[in-house]
Structure formats: C-alpha cells, structure tokens
Chain A
C-alpha cells in the first residue's frame, strides 16, 4: 500500500524532505533552551554575574526566534507538501479511473469512488502531514530530552528508564482495549443513518401506514446501540488522561525528591533541577503524542488501502500495440462468442453467439430482463472483452482497433444514460466537438429533439442541470440519441433508448434514421414489439442465447416466446 501511494508524492518530494529537517532544527533548539536557561540561572543569576546573564539571555533570545522561524516554516512546508500529495493522489486516481473498462467500473460503485477521492484522500493527507511533521518531532523531542537529561544528571534520568516503559505499556493497553469498539460504533452509525435515510425518503409510506411509532422505536434502538458502545469507549479512553497526568506528576515528585538529595549532596545545581522538570514534561508529552499518532495512522491505514485498491486496479481493456485507426463499414460478426462477467461466475452471460450483421441492416433485439440483450451489444464497441470467440467489425477483430476510433464509429446509446451539466449544445457536441451548429441541429432533427429544444427558454443554449433533471425522461432519451448521431457512426446501437418516448414520435425517429442514415447499421433493443417489428431481422434472446432470428412475420409464425410477448402487449398496451 505504502509503495503504491508513495508514487504520487512526485514534485512534492523536496518539500516533504525539507519538513523533517526544519522540524529537527526546531526540536533541537527547543530542547537546548531549558538547558541553557539552567546555565543562565546557575552561572548568571546564582553568581550575580550580569555579564553572563546578558550574554546567555541574548543567545537564548536569538535561538528562540530561529526556532520560531523553523517551526513556522515547517508548518507551511508540511501543509503544502501534504496538500500537494493529496492533489496528486486525487489526480492519479481520477485519471486511472478514466482508464477503467466497464468491468472495472462495475466492481466499484460510483458512490464508493467518490468517497475514496475525497474522504479517504483527506484522511491520508492528514496522516501524511502528521508523518512529516509531528511524527518526526515527537521521537526527536523524546531522544533529545533524554539525552539532555542524561547530560544534566545521569542518575536522575534513571527515573525515565523506569517510568517510560510502564507509561507506554499502559497507554498501549488502553488503546488496544478501546480500539475494537470503533469499527462497531461506525457500523452502528451506518445503521442509524440508514434508518434516518429510509424515513426521510419513505415518509409518505410511514405516514400512510401510520408507522411513526414503530419507526421511532426502531431508531431509538439504533441510537441506543451507539450510545452504549460509545460511552464505554469514552470511559476507557478517559483513562488516558488519568495515566498521562498521574505519570507526569509522579515523575515530577520523584525528580523533586531525588533532585533535592543530589543538590544537597552537591552533584546537582538548582538551575539544573529546573531544567530537569522541563525535560520530564517533554519526555512524557512526546510519548503521549507518539501514542496518538499511532492510533491516527492505524485509522488512516484503512483509507490508504482503499485508495491503493483503486490505483492498483488493472484496466481490463487497453489499446493494442499497433492499432487500426479507422472503422470502414458497419459489418459485424460474432464468431462463437462466450462471455461471463467475472471468471468466478458459473453461468455464462452469453453462450455460443454466432451472428453476421451486414452494413446498413436494421436489427431488433427483444427478450426478458436478464436475457443478456445489453451484454450482447456491449461486445461491439468493446465495452467488455469476450471470454472466448471473437467479435469482428468491418472484418477486423474489435481488439485490433484503437478504442477511441472504434467507439467513435460504433455509437451506443446506453440504457442508463446521463446528460452532464452544461448547455444542450455542449451536451450534444460530446458526439463531435468540432460539429458546427448546423450539424448539431440536423442531428437533433433526426432524433426529433429539435422541436422541444427550440421551445426551451434559451433554445440550444439552455443549461442542463446536473443529472439532467430539468428535461423529461423522453426528452432526455431523444437528446442522448442526437448526441450519438453526431458521431456519424457506421454502427448505431439504441439500448432501450426510446422507452419513455411516445409511440408516434418513436416511429418517426425510426423512419428518419432509416432515411437519413441508410448505410449505418442500426441495432435496436426494446421491450416493446412495436418498436422493432419493422426491423430487417429480429433477434429473440433468452438466458444468454439467441433463441431465434427472423422477421416479425416469421417469428410470429414460428416462435412461441415472441408470439406470447407480442400478444400480451397487443392486449394491454393498445394505444401507446
């Protein structure tokens, strides 16, 4: 994980390395100060030597200013290095995600990718900043203060030798016993948030079925679970305060007692005793901070792993070495194609598909949910790679084309389609960014979108909201068809793309397509027989296999499944 993330440091390596150096300088000076003050007291004040006081006072003053400058610049440097590292991580992830193929995308939900790009990166950023600043500072402070106290009084330093390990051990025990509560608490939060979410979204159901009280009871159970666990965890974590303070105080008293004896014995001076108090504070505070850092790092480790999982995900589909750059016609061949979504799956999504579609042909595909209609057409623009067999477009295996070239010529309108925030025209130009306004209008006309676009407040310059919420379902579908048409494709695939368009308009779109794009191969997937019955050939899919191919008339005569779907729809959907 660390190796994977480290690659994203890049140009911030220098800054990242500067920070520990600055921090080391600051820590060193900070540790020297109590020692020097001890000298100031013992040699200056005690002896009434004003010259000494002036000299060491000035040195101390300058040192403090240097330490201030070092500390402040360490903050600046570490904050910027961490922010830069985080930006690189986000960028690397985002760019890498753009290389994902459909099978990679299916693996991660988009919500989880969004969390990884923000929350997880922020966690790693904080951890990184800590790592190059405090995590350097705390152990240095620890080592320096131990060294300094040994210099002052090796015998008094023995106190640390006894106390420090006990201290660390107790802290470790506290952290260890509190730690297991947190994953459970987080799961509790998830469950409680789910309760709230369901009740906000489903409030109409709650109210019509008068379920308020049952829901309140359910919620109180979830919140009570968190309350119980968190209170217990709090009680354990509070022991931390007890231990830190107790150990600190006891060691101060121990230093008092033994220190006084040393002073009386003449082996220690008063000023040195004062310095010892400072160092004992530093030793224990550094240990405490180290414990804190450890817990923080453990927490952010989970985030780091989730980021690394994205970065190490291998794109399932990549460009070939010497790719073909152009698709010359709309000829499609499926040659003994088998496909399953993941190697572990038992069932094939496509089984032994053999098919030849000639340029300019119109093909209809029908079948129940789960019969792999969409899977079949996804093979053509190489959204997924076949498990065995081959798909050929214009006589060449799809794997030999450059992906962009292939997908420019094989336009697919997806079933779950989206528009992006921007104007209508900008959205349509996704199909071809160099298209002129006239070309955009032509495509919109073919898709029967021109009419309603003109009726919109700003026509082609109307802003589409995020998610395309300000156009209706049918309008959205027609816009996405127009967008695909702008590619001027050899093959056009409409995956249930007119389900929300009324039947009359749908028929008109089909007619325009036939008239305006006679040489383009058209593949239409639909739930409705009426949408495909005029196709040159209709494919009936069932359980990942081609069950029958033929014209509407042929299938009505020979195919039971097709006939039953057609008959049912005729009875129920008359008039649509």
Chain B
C-alpha cells in the first residue's frame, strides 16, 4: 500500500518532504549547519581564487621578471604566501564542512532513529498487523541510511558543486566573456549527456535491484527447502530455475554498472575536449587579435575549464541520491505521522496498602471523589460486536461472563474470532458496539497501561528479547527481586532446563531464542507471566506441538499459572481445555455453543464432533 502511494507521489509533496527534512537538520544543530554552509562557500571560493591566481602568477609576477636583470622575487613570494593563506582557508573549510556534516548526519540519524522507535512503540497493534515486518524494518535500515548518505555527502557536495560551478562561470567571465560563451555550448552538451546517463543508470539500478530481489526470493525458498530437494533428488530442476534468474540479473547488472561508470570517462574527456578547444580557439584569438586575451588568461581559463566538468557530473549524481533520500525520508515520516494509540482512560490501578499483591481500580466519580473498586478479575462481554474493516464483521454479539477464577476456553477454527476476543480485552483493538467491563468498570474508562498491567498473556509463538534469561523473566515485572525470578521459574517448571544452560540464569539469549527449543521458550514465557502475577490470564494457543516430556512440564507449569486466576484459554488441542469452567465454541464470529465439557458432549453438536475426531480444526 505504502509503496504504491510513494510511486505516485506528486512533486509538490517532494518539496514538502525536503522542507521537513531540512527543518529536521536545522533544528538538530543550527550552528553546525550554519558553519558548514559558510565553510562550503569558503572552500568553493578558495578553489576558484586558486585557479585565478595562476593568471596573476604568470602575467604579473613571472613575465615581468623575464625582463629584469636582477630578478626581484619578493612580490612573487608575497603572492605565494597570500595564496597559501587562501588555500589554507580552503582546506580547513573543506575539512570543517566534511567533518561537521558527517557528524551532523550522525546526530540526525540518532535523533530520527530514537524518535521513530519511540513513536513506533506508541502505535496501535493494528499498525503492526497491517504492515509487514520487512517493510517496517527497512525504515530503520535502508531508509535511515539514505538520510546519512544525503546529509553527509549529497547535500554538501551538491552545494559545493553548485557554488563551484557558479564561481567558475563568474571567473571565466572575468577572464574572457567570448571564451565563456563558447564554453557554454560544451556546458549544455555535457549537462545533457550527464542527465541522460544518470537517469539511465538509476533506471537500470532499479531493474538490477528488482532482479536481485527475485533471485533472493528464489534462493531463500530453495535453500530453506534444500533438505527436501536432496530427498527428492530435485537438484537439476533447482539449478535450472536458478540459471534463469541468474542470467537476468547478470544482464541488468552489466547495464546498470556500464551506465554508472561510463559517466567518468565521458565527463573527464569532455573536460579534455574543452581544454583542447579553448587552447586552440583562445590561441588563435590571441594571435589574430580577435579578442583581448593574454597568455596568462588562457592558462587560467584552461585550468578553470577542467574544473567545471566534475561539478556538473556531481550535481547530476547527487540529484539522484537526494531524490532517493527523499523517498526514504517520506517513508520514515509516514511512520512518524501514524496516529498513536488513543487513551482516554482515567481509571487507574492503585495498590491496597494492607494486603500484598492486591489492587484497586480508582474510579473518579462525578463529584470528584474516588471510588475504590477491588480488582478481582471479573470480566464481562456484553453484546460485543467488532470488525477490522467496516464491510467484514468479525465478532457478532459476544456475551461472556467470566467470574473471578474461572477458566474460559475458546474453541473454533482459524479465523473464527478466538484471538480477536483477546484483542478486545486488552484493547489492542477497540470494540464497535456493546461493552466490556472489568470488575464492573468499563475497560474503555481504564487507562490502557493499567488495564494491560492487570492482564498477562502467553502466546503460542513466544518472543524473547536480547538479554539474560533473568532479564527475560523479569520482563513481566521489572522490579522483581532475584528470588522472585527463581520462584516464578520453579513454578513454571522452567527452573530445571535453565540450570542445565551454560550460565544458568545469566545465559544471554537473543530475540530468536538461539539454542532454546520452542518448548523451553514457552516455559520462559509462562515464567514471565507467572512473575507478573496478574488477576487475568490470556493463553493464546499456548501449547503447540512439543514432545511428550516437555509437554508434561508445560502442562504442569500452566496449571500452576492458572490456579486462582480468571483465564481465557485459546486452544487447538482439546485436551488442554476439557477441565474448563466454561467452553465457548466459535464459528465465523458467533458463539454457537457454550457450556462445560460434559454439557457440550451431551449436546452432540459441533464440539462433540470435534472431540470425537469427526471434525478437524484447521
């Protein structure tokens, strides 16, 4: 969706993005930017003055010396020292702006990264469900990198080249307007060629990128399935498919790189061509007296003529990378402009001073008083309807009364709406009509952070975070003591395998879990929920296919976790839910059957068919 929008972005939009980007750069460090711009101007000016100096050198200092009997080198030495000063300003300026812009680029990146990340954390779950992982990720990698490229290189070089070009043209005019006008023909020609080449090369780079993506996708599929390929002796077919993509990539890559590198010899030689033509025409003009040209002027002009072809090539190339960076910036800004989760709740959680681990909802009354409602975990769904998109309703008239300590099971096919119900409860999504109450308080009035603090969740696919095992368990309660962590791990039956790890609780794992098995990760996630110790639990397909021994442990951990809590269990294996206090069978967003295991078996309906294996949950 996003990408399609970008491709059709109007030019005016680009200017807006550029403005916003420049503002960002300016506000990050105004003095760095100002100093950089001044130094860029100084650097460009000093380069041109340097070239002009050569004229003065020959005409003013060297030629007169030829006629003196005892040459006086004093004025020449003076001039050289003055030049040294001007050059010094030039190279120091050069250093300053490349250093400042480099550091500024880092500063901007640092700021953009932090802002983007902080904003991302505030986005509603819907954003993550609707945008794929790679797409969000690439804003942090590719898009932010193009910003650095642009700020540290493209912008200063663009400015520098543009200024150099202007100075060179001015200087040329000051030497000889006739030769300058003549040079303009070559200027125009060069610019045309350069634009053509850079546009071509960026087109073929896109093609190359595209083909690279294709071969990447193919490789990914084939290498992930490599063992299957071996088992089926399917190697020749895999190779054949590869050859096709590889050949296409080779062609595109050859073209892209040709256009990219051909620019240099062409621009270099265009410069040479101008050099030769000016020597030729200037020489002829000087001899025939067509124009008032001195030898020194021609020499200077020659030097200047070499200086203009490179800025032209630079400007054209930097234009491309600036456009690229703008596309990246736009994608980053799009993320930053996504609306954050809305939270209007004013009911907050407050601890009961007398009893440990006991909490109140503080409900503000109209008269300004605060009503204290003890948190027990009584959840009621009252005629709840919901749809992600208006035309496609997901939940129809859901009514659930989960009293404190009850185990409520949700059963149904994929897409029946089981997970959606849990999304309603923790307000990852907002219900459309009806009401959900928590101990009688409508959850829409509870501050989101507090509502979520009062719920724990264990998901089928466990996500851990880089850090030690200890950190990961503590995730559920950051201020937990070490003993609390050990206690939670023991209750979750995770203690045993943790001790077998090299560094026990201090073993560092990364987000993908590293060497931990799926079952072990699940145990950790149970421990995490255990330490959070909330009155309401959501288990979303928490037992998946794990081996019997681990399953026994997970089961035992689970039972400990659920004891005394209100729980919502979404299960694939019916075995885990037969002992529920209430089983809700969902079908296409409707609750079609409800009751205990025994009651439902007696009904001989959908649940009965599932239980006896006549129907399959897929």
The proximity string for A residues 227-245 relative to B, scoring 1 for CB distances below 8 Å and 0 otherwise, is 1001100110111011001
Q: Is A61 an interface residue (CB 8 A)?
A: yes
Q: Do B99 and A257 have beta carbons less than 8 Å apart?
A: no
Q: Do A421 and B221 have beta carbons less than 8 Å apart?
A: yes
Q: Least Cβ distance of A29 to chain B in Å? A: 9
Q: Is A569 an interface residue (CB 8 A)?
A: yes
Q: Do A64 and B235 have beta carbons less than 8 Å apart?
A: no
Q: Is A574 an interface residue (CB 8 A)?
A: yes
Residue in B closest to A382 when the chains form the complex, CB atoms: B230
Q: Do B106 and A114 have beta carbons less than 8 Å apart?
A: no
The proximity string for A residues 202-246 relative to B, scoring 1 for CB distances below 8 Å and 0 otherwise, is 111111111110111001100110110011001101110110011
Q: Is B261 an interface residue (CB 8 A)?
A: yes
Q: Is B257 an interface residue (CB 8 A)?
A: yes
Q: Do A237 and B90 have beta carbons less than 8 Å apart?
A: no
Q: Least Cβ distance of A488 to chain B in Å? A: 13
Q: Do A196 and B110 have beta carbons less than 8 Å apart?
A: no
Q: Given A208-B457, A369-B549, A565-B548, answer yes or no on A256-B265 (Cβ-Cβ < 8 Å).
A: no
Q: Is B591 an interface residue (CB 8 A)?
A: no
Q: Do A53 and B287 have beta carbons less than 8 Å apart?
A: yes
Q: Do B283 and A263 have beta carbons less than 8 Å apart?
A: no
Q: Do B578 and A263 have beta carbons less than 8 Å apart?
A: no
Q: Is B118 an interface residue (CB 8 A)?
A: yes
Distance in angstroms between the alpha carbons of A94 and B426 in the assembled complex: 48
A residues less than 8 Å from B173 (CB atoms): none
A residues less than 8 Å from B268 (CB atoms): 30, 71
Q: Is A403 an interface residue (CB 8 A)?
A: yes
Q: Do A208 and B455 have beta carbons less than 8 Å apart?
A: yes
Q: Is B216 an interface residue (CB 8 A)?
A: yes
Instruction: Determine which of A33, A84, A94 lies in contact with B275 in the assembled complex, contact meaning CB atoms within 8 Å.
Output: A33
Residue in B closest to A248 when the chains form the complex, CB atoms: B91
Q: Chain A: interface secondary structure?
A: helix
* A93-143 residues at the B interface, CB under 8 angstroms: 94-95, 97-102, 105, 110, 113-114, 117-118, 122, 125, 129, 133
Q: Is B76 an interface residue (CB 8 A)?
A: yes
Please choose the segment from B15-23, B136-144, B364-372, B488-496 that sits at the chain A interface, where 4 or more of its residues have CB less than 8 A away: B136-144
Q: Least Cβ distance of A315 to chain B in Å? A: 11
Q: Given A40-B283, A242-B91, answer yes or no on A202-B463 (Cβ-Cβ < 8 Å).
A: yes
Sample (8) of A-B pairs whose CB atoms are under 8 Å apart = A71-B262, A83-B250, A91-B246, A98-B229, A125-B253, A199-B117, A216-B121, A263-B66
Q: Least Cβ distance of A363 to chain B in Å? A: 19
Interface size in chain A (residues, C-beta < 8 A): 154
Please choose the segment from A148-156, A324-332, A337-345, A467-475 that sits at the chain B interface, where 4 or more of its residues have CB less than 8 A away: A467-475
A residues less than 8 Å from B592 (CB atoms): none
Q: Given A210-B449, A369-B550, A574-B575, answer yes or no on A41-B298 (Cβ-Cβ < 8 Å).
A: yes
B residues less than 8 Å from A16 (CB atoms): none
Q: Least Cβ distance of A439 to chain B in Å? A: 16
Q: Do B62 and A270 have beta carbons less than 8 Å apart?
A: yes
Distance in angstroms between the alpha carbons of A569 and B549 in the assembled complex: 10
Residue in B closest to A109 when the chains form the complex, CB atoms: B223
Interchain residue pairs A-B with the least CB separation, the first 10 = A71-B265, A202-B463, A234-B102, A57-B280, A79-B257, A242-B95, A238-B99, A87-B250, A245-B91, A198-B511
Q: Do A72 and B262 have beta carbons less than 8 Å apart?
A: yes
Q: Do B266 and A57 have beta carbons less than 8 Å apart?
A: no
Q: Given A196-B117, A216-B117, A270-B295, answer yes or no on A414-B228 (Cβ-Cβ < 8 Å).
A: yes
Distance in angstroms between the alpha carbons of A239 and B99 in the assembled complex: 8
Please choose the segment from A296-304, A353-361, A495-503, A550-558 that sits at the chain B interface, where 4 or more of its residues have CB less than 8 A away: A495-503
Q: Do A575 and B578 have beta carbons less than 8 Å apart?
A: yes
Distance in angstroms between the alpha carbons of A224 and B106 in the assembled complex: 10
* B476-510 residues at the A interface, CB under 8 angstroms: 476, 478, 510
Q: Least Cβ distance of B205 to chain A in Å? A: 12
B residues less than 8 Å from A527 (CB atoms): 545, 547-548
Q: Do A503 and B113 have beta carbons less than 8 Å apart?
A: no
Q: Given A37-B279, A90-B246, answer yes or no on A46-B547 (Cβ-Cβ < 8 Å).
A: no
Q: Do A71 and B269 have beta carbons less than 8 Å apart?
A: yes
The proximity string for B residues 337-367 relative to A, scoring 1 for CB distances below 8 Å and 0 otherwise, is 0000000000000000000000000000000
Q: Do A407 and B230 have beta carbons less than 8 Å apart?
A: yes
Q: Do B95 and A239 have beta carbons less than 8 Å apart?
A: yes
The proximity string for B residues 574-618 relative to A, scoring 1 for CB distances below 8 Å and 0 otherwise, is 110010000000000000000000000000000000011111111
Q: Is A311 an interface residue (CB 8 A)?
A: no
A residues less than 8 Å from B528 (CB atoms): 209
Q: Do A50 and B128 have beta carbons less than 8 Å apart?
A: no
Q: Least Cβ distance of A413 to chain B in Å? A: 8
Q: Is A408 an interface residue (CB 8 A)?
A: yes
Q: Which of B63, B230, B455, B574: most chain A Cβ within 10 A?
A: B230
Please choose the segment from B3-11, B77-85, B390-398 that sits at the chain A interface, where 4 or more of its residues have CB less than 8 A away: B77-85
B residues less than 8 Å from A388 (CB atoms): none
* A66-80 residues at the B interface, CB under 8 angstroms: 67-68, 70-72, 74-76, 78-80
Instruction: Determine which of A82, A100, A200, A231 lies in contact with B257 in the assembled complex, contact meaning CB atoms within 8 Å.
Output: A82
Q: Is A201 an interface residue (CB 8 A)?
A: yes
* A429-444 residues at the B interface, CB under 8 angstroms: 430-431, 433
Q: Least Cβ distance of B183 to chain A in Å? A: 15
Q: Do A407 and B428 have beta carbons less than 8 Å apart?
A: no
Q: Do B457 and A26 have beta carbons less than 8 Å apart?
A: no
Q: Given A41-B298, A46-B295, A61-B276, answer yes or no on A414-B227 (Cβ-Cβ < 8 Å).
A: yes
Q: Do A40 and B465 have beta carbons less than 8 Å apart?
A: no
Q: Given A79-B261, A253-B80, A573-B575, answer yes or no on A210-B466 (Cβ-Cβ < 8 Å).
A: no
Distance in angstroms between the alpha carbons of A49 and B459 in the assembled complex: 91
Q: Given A53-B284, A118-B219, answer yes or no on A87-B247 (Cβ-Cβ < 8 Å).
A: yes
* B200-252 residues at the A interface, CB under 8 angstroms: 212, 215-217, 219-235, 237-239, 242-243, 246-247, 249-251
Q: Given A223-B113, A260-B62, answer yes or no on A72-B265 (Cβ-Cβ < 8 Å).
A: yes
Please choose the segment from B50-58, B319-327, B562-570 that sits at the chain A interface, where 4 or more of its residues have CB less than 8 A away: B50-58
Please choose the segment from A165-173, A187-195, A390-398, A532-540 that sits at the chain B interface, where 4 or more of its residues have CB less than 8 A away: A187-195
Q: Do B110 and A207 have beta carbons less than 8 Å apart?
A: no
Distance in angstroms between the alpha carbons of A568 and B548 in the assembled complex: 8
Q: Do B87 and A249 have beta carbons less than 8 Å apart?
A: yes
Q: Is A261 an interface residue (CB 8 A)?
A: yes
Instruction: Determine which of B114, B235, B546 lies in contact with A220 in the assembled complex, contact meaning CB atoms within 8 Å.
Output: B114
Q: Is A20 an interface residue (CB 8 A)?
A: no
Distance in angstroms between the alpha carbons of A431 and B57 in the assembled complex: 84
Distance in angstroms between the alpha carbons of A257 and B71 in the assembled complex: 13
Q: Given A238-B95, A466-B217, answer yes or no on A98-B239 (Cβ-Cβ < 8 Å).
A: yes
The proximity string for B residues 65-108 relative to A, scoring 1 for CB distances below 8 Å and 0 otherwise, is 11000010100110010011001101110110011001101110
A residues less than 8 Å from B282 (CB atoms): 45
Distance in angstroms between the alpha carbons of A209 and B80 in the assembled complex: 71
B residues less than 8 Å from A219 (CB atoms): 113-114, 117
Residue in B closest to A496 when the chains form the complex, CB atoms: B545
* B136-166 residues at the A interface, CB under 8 angstroms: 136-137, 140-141, 152
The proximity string for A residues 462-483 relative to B, scoring 1 for CB distances below 8 Å and 0 otherwise, is 0000110000111100000001
Q: Do B121 and A129 have beta carbons less than 8 Å apart?
A: no
Q: Do B225 and A76 have beta carbons less than 8 Å apart?
A: no
Distance in angstroms between the alpha carbons of A270 and B299 in the assembled complex: 9
Q: Is A383 an interface residue (CB 8 A)?
A: yes
Q: Which of B50, B250, B251, B282: most chain A Cβ within 10 A?
A: B250
Q: Least Cβ distance of A417 to chain B in Å? A: 6
Q: Is A321 an interface residue (CB 8 A)?
A: no
Q: Given A68-B269, A118-B215, A576-B613, answer yes or no on A407-B231 (Cβ-Cβ < 8 Å).
A: yes
Residue in A closest to B114 when the chains form the complex, CB atoms: A220
Instruction: Determine which of B219, B257, B611 lies in contact with A94 in the assembled complex, contact meaning CB atoms within 8 Å.
Output: B219
Q: Least Cβ distance of B543 to chain A in Å? A: 10
Distance in angstroms between the alpha carbons of A257 and B113 in the assembled complex: 52
Q: Do B125 and A242 have beta carbons less than 8 Å apart?
A: no
Distance in angstroms between the alpha carbons of A97 and B229 in the assembled complex: 11
A residues less than 8 Å from B573 (CB atoms): 573, 576
Q: Do B232 and A430 have beta carbons less than 8 Å apart?
A: yes
